[in-house]
Amino acid sequence: MTAISFAHATDVGRIRDHNEDACGVIPGCGLYIVADGMGGHAAGEVASTLAIESISVQVRRGVALVAAIEAAHNRVLAAAQAKESCAGMGCTVVALQFDGADYRIAWVGDSRAYLWDGTNLSQLTRDHSFVQQLLDSGAIDEQQARNHPQNSVLTQALGHSNKKTLQVDVVSGRLEPGQKILLCSDGLSGELNDRDIAGVLRWPGNETETVGRLIRAANKHGGSDNISVVLVAAPPTPVPAEPAAGQVKQHYQVVSFIPLLPPDPLEKWLKWGGLGVALALLVGGLYWFVGL
């Protein structure tokens, strides 16, 4: 597992009276999850909690991420059928899993993942929503999409409409030094556009500070929904590998060693003997010149 730092938080927002979002962080498995529940008071938070728990358990058992999300769908669906007060409940989910520096992101619904490279923000996921279908068809533009009255209508969700099959989309890549991946519910992306999010990510600070700024910004822009954020960051430069067990980490640099020994006797004789020969030749030359 590559050395990374992370932070996460969830907030009820300014309008809702309870929080139906949930975050899951299991660093030992390289797993990070955001789930956004729906289905009325209490039921929505039941769905999101069940999804987080189910995906986490499955991944710990070695189940692939997509299969883990499918299992979570079945669990939410079964719970909704078993209890009348939970009928119709469901949730969106976006999950990030690392294998070293390589990552895989799987999602259902409109919870999102973004990649921040220090300069540019890129949306990695594509919403499973009615508005996204309109956008893809060219019927509306980005600005119309943000203000569309059917923004909350989803085409896919865990436990949604008693579906027996589920479309889980996947994207993969490699997290390079200095890059960050942001997972969020639509409580963040619905209030802040890409430019707003990028503006917050440009501020200096650690991941905890940045997550706090993102949530405060979403609340400042209205806070009309629950807000959940997970931020995962690679170190700015590769971290040197730790020494193997039993080895001692060396904290010095090897350089060429030049011994400071007394001059070699032969070198000393050549130096002073050569000077004596030169003086003898000079004196002899003077005598020869005077004798002429």
CATH number for the region 5-233 comes to: 3.60.40.10
Tokens 């700015």 found at: 236
Helix or strand holding residue 37 (H, E) = strand 31-38
Report how far apart, in Å, the C-alpha atoms of 114 and of each of 25, 29, 182, 290 are: 17, 21, 5, 97
Distance of alpha carbon 226 from alpha carbon 20, whole angstroms: 7
Residue 201: the pLDDT is 97
Q: What is the pTM of this model?
A: 0.79
Sign of CA dihedral 50, 52, 53, 56: positive
Residue 250: the pLDDT is 36
Distance of alpha carbon 225 from alpha carbon 13, whole angstroms: 6
Residue 162: the pLDDT is 63
Residue 161: the pLDDT is 61
Report how far apart, in Å, the C-alpha atoms of 163 and of each of 48, 153, 158, 289 are: 17, 16, 9, 120
Domain ranges of the chain: 5-233, 262-292
Neighbour tally for 74: CB within 10 Å: 14
Taking the chain (292 residues) in consecutive chunks of 10 residues, what is each chunk's mean pLDDT? Answer: 85 95 96 92 88 97 97 93 87 97 97 97 95 87 81 88 80 97 97 97 96 98 97 80 48 32 44 51 50 48
- Which residues is 35 bridged to in the sheet? 22, 93
Residue 175: the pLDDT is 97
Q: Cβ(74)–Cβ(80) under 8 Å? A: no
Q: Cβ(228)–Cβ(22) under 8 Å? A: yes
Residue 132: the pLDDT is 85
Residue 173: the pLDDT is 97
